[in-house]
Amino acid sequence: MAVILYGPSLALSQVTGLNVWIAVGLCGIIFIIYTSIRGIKAVTGTDVIEASIIFIGLTISTIIDITDAGGTSKLYKTVKVNNRLQFSVVDFDPSIRYIMWSIFISVIFSSTAQYACIQTQAERYMCIKDTRSAKNQCVRLQTKIISRSFQMYPLFGIETSRRFSGYAGLFIACMLSATLNTFSSGANSMATVILEDISKQLTKKYSMLNEEQ
C-alpha cells in the first residue's frame, strides 16, 4: 500500500515541484475520503473510468515513443539488429531466467492468485448481483532530474509531454487512476477485516462478559 501510494506521488512532485511527502499526504487524504464515501461500490463503480484513463494515457505515450524512434519500420529494424526479437526460440532450459514457458506458467499462477484468491477482488465480485449487472454498469460508465531508478518512467512521461498541451495532466491522471484503483480496494479490504474480524469480535466478547457478570 505504501509503495502504491508513493509512486504517483513521486510523479506528481516531478510535475508540480511539490515536496514528495506533501504529495503523499495529499494523495492519501484524497484516497481515504474517496473510499470512505461509498466503500467497495465506489471502487467498482469507477474501475471502468480509471481503466479508460489508463488505456488512453498508455496509448498516447506509446504513439509518442514510436514517433520519436522514427516510426514502426525503423523501430523494428533497430530491435532486430540488436537481437531483441527471438520469437522462434523455444527453450526448455530451467536455468534460463526468462523463457516463454517459465513466463507463461508463472503468469497463470500469479493471475489465478490475484483474481481468484485475493480479498480485494473477491469483494468486487460479491458487490455485483450478476454478470449482466456488471456489463450494464460498465456500459453506463463508458458513456460518460531523478534520484532512484523507478523514477525513470515518470520523468520520461513528463519530458515527452512538454511538447503537447494537456498531456502532462493526462499522464498524471493515468498514474493516479492506477493507484486509486489498487489503493481504494486495499483500504476497503483492510477496513472490512478490522471491523468484522477485530472490532465486532471484541465488542461481542465484551458484551458476553458483561452479561455473565
Could you report the per-residue pLDDT of 17-48, keeping only the tens digit for each?
778 888 888 877 877 777 777 666 666 666 66
Lowest-confidence region among 97-106, 190-199, 202-211: 202-211
Compare 129 and 81 and report the one with higher pLDDT.
81
| pLDDT reading at 189 higher than 50 | yes
The grid cell for 183 is 489503493
| 99 close to 93: Cβ distance less than 8 angstroms | yes
Mean pLDDT of 97-116: 78
| pLDDT reading at 140 higher than 50 | no
Burial track 170-186 (b if 16+ CB lie within 10 A, e otherwise): bbbbbbbbbbbbbbbbb
Lowest-confidence region among 88-92, 141-145, 197-201: 141-145
Instruction: Identify the pLDDT of residue 141.
Output: 43
Q: What is the pTM of this model?
A: 0.43
- DSSP, res 39: T
| pLDDT reading at 59 higher than 80 | yes
Mean pLDDT of 113-141: 63
Query: Residue 190, class by beta-carbon neighbours within 10 Å (0-12 exposed, 13-18 middle, 19+ buried)?
Result: middle
Q: How far is CA 117 from CA 107, 112, 121, 123, 165, in A?
A: 15, 7, 8, 11, 42
* Helices of type H across 98-166: 100-116, 119-126, 131-143, 152-161
Please list, in sequence order, all residues whose beta carbon lies within 8 angstroms of the beta carbon of residue 166, skipping any fewer than 6 positions away: none
